[in-house]
Amino acid sequence: MGVFVRRDNINLITNHRRSMGQRQAKQHMQAGVKLYHQRHYAQAINKWRQSLNRLNNAEDRFITLGYLAQALCDQGEYEGMLSYALSQMQLATDQNDSAMKCEAFLNLAKAYERLADFTKALQYGKASLEHPSMDPRTPGYAHLTIALAHLGMSQFQQCLESFESAMNVANETSDRLLELQICVGLGSLFTLLRDITKALIFLRNALAIVQSVTVDDVHAKYRCLILYHLSVALRMKGSLVDAKEACDEASQLAVEMGNRAIHARCMCSLADIYRELGESEAKETITKSWARYEDAYRVMRGANDKMGEVLVLSSMAKSASESRSHYTGQCECQAIQLNKKCIEIANQIGCKHVVLKCHLRLAELYSQLNDDDSEEMARRAASRLTQEMQLFCNFCGQRYGLKDESLQALRCSHIFHEKCLHTYLLQRTDQNCPKCRCRAVLSDNISIRSSIASTADVQSPSTSFAPPGGVATPLVSVAAELGDITPQATLTRRPPQQDKILRGAEKDIDRVDRSLARLKSQTTANSCAAVPVPSPEVPSTTTSGASEPIASTSSAAPILSNQTNHKPPPPPRKPCCSQAALPPSSIVALPPAMPLAEDGPLVITHTPTVTDV
């Protein structure tokens, strides 16, 4: 009898110790969250790892794995993020829990999107949508990840469709942080398509939203991201001083947060800005700007950030192409090799838009070398990529994305010149999309019309109605009430800051309104109207090298003409050296691990189930 009593006592003590261990593990997990928001990120990660080794409850382990995945994502450790996402997937499979699978698939999609494995990102993002979720916002983040994967692969039509679906979820759930990330994605999209006015409208809309967020780590994380994209758009617009200010602030925030990926992108953007400012105005030599490119490339290689590598190599190739006299002593060899290296990596990840730009630069370089065969191959490759990405307007037959011009999309996500499309819609009664023959209805959920970005829209955040092509969600002003951003995040109102970048939005909006007013007055006399059923033709090249405008109803694009070169090339000359391999110091050196400050801000998700992108 005494033996059984002692055994019962031992079992009670063992169970008590186990329960005490579980409580302590949960306390470690909660302490990690608190430390994370206090910007003690290394300590927070250690707390989560300790609790993960002791937790037995499947749900608690799943949440902790999500914390760790998001923390490593914010640090730029994408392979580590993938490892924890795979652990989440294994746990969800063992539990046979559909809601867990939905979240695990989403984290896998996000990890592969950051690693530039866009095919897998699309697969896992769609798999997340196929499983039920306990959080209604999760499908919105899945659509957002799918949109970013399509953007990385230069599939702009599918990208717009996914952004539209994500915006629908943001509208239904009043998730302002999701809307913010959609605006950043759309700003990046229209920056690639060279509609800089719309890109700035979206990015400043995102900046207005983030101004209202007073959770410091969340505010810093998104402000850093937005300012980087703003610096790129402002540089392409020609506002180099404003671009430098935005890039400097983004770089400083990235260093404080320990975000290596954004910091390296800021170094590359700053080098681009200094390159365009020139040595006299930038007060920086070309050699120093080139060193920025090399440092950024080393960071990207160390983080296995393939998309970052492509961005830096593309900027290096452009810089070498424009400054051959400084880098290679009047020789095109290094510029050609950099473009070829960029094409190689971009083809690996499927980034067609970067490949297109490299082929256009190669065609110009080969033209200056009188290498007719290589020039013809480069131009044919550029023409093929233009057709695949459908970067042309079916009404005028001209390619877009070469210069800053206003674009417009229909609900089917096909994109045209805004002026050509509006003329077509005003003159036609049977209004169908010339590419897919669907009903020509302007997109009513994502703002891709300059006309909707009026001062009234910005000043009236409670407006729920938007004209065709406008933003259905209200714009968030600095004084807007943000209690419905998320039920698990505490956000308060932030006093308005007289941000120089935000103040520039009013000037852009007024300029857009004036241009649209002139457009309406000239519509009836406009000769750029689309024909009802145009036939696909290849533009004939005249003796002067100009292309005749065409209108096409198919997906075949006009062949690129020689007018893609905006600057007259220098006199033809032969290379002064053979195309030898690049020096190891330029692009092939593997970087040492970048030290991370323990107090650099890394933003943990504000909910255990849905993490920020």
375-422 pLDDT, tens digit each: 999 999 999 999 999 888 888 888 888 888 888 888 788 888 888 888
d(CA 111, CA 92): 17
- DSSP symbol at 534: P
Are the C-beta atoms of residues 534 and 553 closer than 8 Å to each other?
yes
pLDDT at 601 exceeding the cut of 80: no
What's the pLDDT score for residue 287? 78
Averaged pLDDT, 271-277: 89
Q: Which residues contact 546 (CB under 8 A, 6 or more apart)?
A: 561, 563
Q: What is the overall mean pLDDT for the chain?
A: 73
Provide the token pair at 183: 């605006």
Statement: residue 575 has pLDDT above 70: no
* Residue of 444 and 187 predicted with greater confidence: 187
pLDDT tens digit sequence for 317-368: 998 887 754 444 446 788 899 999 999 999 999 999 999 999 999 999 999 8
Q: Which pLDDT does position 279 carry in this prediction?
A: 61
67-101 as b/e: b if 16+ CB within 10 A? bbbbbbbbbbbbebbbbbbbbbbebbeeeebebbb
- Asked if residue 551 lies in contact with residue 534, where contact means CB atoms within 8 angstroms, the answer is yes
- Flag whether pLDDT at 547 surpasses 90: no
pLDDT greater at residue 105 or residue 453: 105
pLDDT in the model for residue 525: 41
For the stretch 43-93, pLDDT in tens is 888 889 888 888 888 999 999 999 999 888 888 889 999 999 999 999 999
Whole-Å CA distances, 91 to 28, 60, 66, 88, 375? 20, 11, 12, 5, 54
Q: Is the alpha carbon torsion for 263, 247, 604, 192 positive or negative?
A: negative
Least confident of 16-30, 53-67, 202-216, 398-412: 16-30
| DSSP element (H, E) containing 82 | helix 78-95
Task: Return the closest-CA partner of residue 247 out of 287, 298, 193, 296.
Answer: 296
Residue 7: what pLDDT?
54
**406 DSSP assignment:** -
Is the pLDDT higher at 54 or at 117?
A: 117
Distance of alpha carbon 603 from the chain centroid: 18
Selected residue with higher pLDDT from 66 and 494: 66
CB 391 within 8 A of CB 401: yes
pLDDT of residue 44: 86
Length of the chain: 613
Query: What pLDDT does residue 405 have?
Result: 86
Among 98-102, 152-156, 174-178, 319-323, the minimum mean pLDDT is found in 319-323
CA distance 8 to 573: 94
Lowest-confidence range among 209-213, 335-339, 410-414, 497-501? Answer: 497-501
- Look at the block and give the residue holding tokens 């080393």: 298
Highest mean pLDDT among 136-145, 411-420, 534-543, 575-584: 136-145
Q: What is the DSSP string of 313-371?
A: HHHHHHHHHH-HHHHSSS-SHHHHHHHHHHHHHHHHHT-HHHHHHHHHHHHHHHHHTT-
The span from the first CA to the last CA of the chain, in angstroms, equals: 61
Q: Which of 435-449, 550-564, 595-609 has the highest mean pLDDT?
A: 435-449
Taking the mean position of all CA atoms in its chain, how far away is CA 29?
32
- Give mean pLDDT, residues 515-521: 48
Could you tell me the pLDDT band of residue 432, with boundaries at 50, 70 and 90? Answer: confident
Q: Which residue has the higher pLDDT, 465 or 434?
A: 434
Give residue 513's Cα distance to chain centre.
Answer: 27
Beta-carbon count within 10 A of 450 CB: 24
Half-sphere exposure in the Cβ direction for 218 (13 Å, CA): 25
What single DSSP character describes residue 591?
Answer: P
Contacts of 604 (CB under 8 A, 6+ apart): 33, 36, 37, 44, 67, 70, 71, 74, 217
